Amino acid sequence: MKHVVTINKANLKASAEKGGCGKCQSSCQSACKTSCTVANQKCEAER
């Protein structure tokens, strides 16, 4: 492709099929705890 560079794998849909195991950290989103936002967390499922 000459006009577009894709930075990452588009894998969110696949993650829905196998997701929800609950092994990952909770992710408080309040401003007073630095454990904010979901997206910067890692998936901790055993692969």
Partner 1 sequence: MIHKFKQLGYNIVLDTESNAVHVMDDCAYDMLDLISAPMNEQMPEIFLTMLRDYPENDVRETYQDLYELYQNGSLFAPDDYQKYSDTMVKSPVKSMCLNVAHDCNLRCGYCFAQTGDFGGERCIMPPEIGKAAVDFLIKQSANRENLETDFFGGEPLMAWDTVVETVKYARSIEKQHGKRFRFTITTNGILLDDEKMKFIDAEMSNCVLSLDGRRETNDGIRKTMNGGGSYDIIVPKFQKVVEQRERAKKDYYVRATFTKNNLDFADDVIHLRELGFIQLSAEPVVTDEKQPFAITNADLPRIFSEYDRLCEYMADEKNPHFNFFHFMVDLDQGPCAIKRLRGCGCGNDYVAIEPHGDIYPCHQFVGIENWKMGNVKDGTLNADIKTYFAKTHIYSKKGCSGCWAKFYCSGGCNANSFIYEGDCRTPHTISCEMQKKRLECAIALEVNKAMKE
Compute the least distance from the CB of residue 45 to partner 1, in Å.
8
Residues binding partner 1: what is the number (CB under 8 A)? Answer: 43
CB of 43 to partner 1, least distance (A): 6
> Could you give the angle at the alpha carbon of 26 between the alpha carbons of 47 and 39, nearest 5°?
70
Q: What is the DSSP letter of 14?
A: H
* Closest CB 47 distance from partner 1, rounded Å: 10
Site for partner 1 in 25-44 (CB under 8 A): 25-44
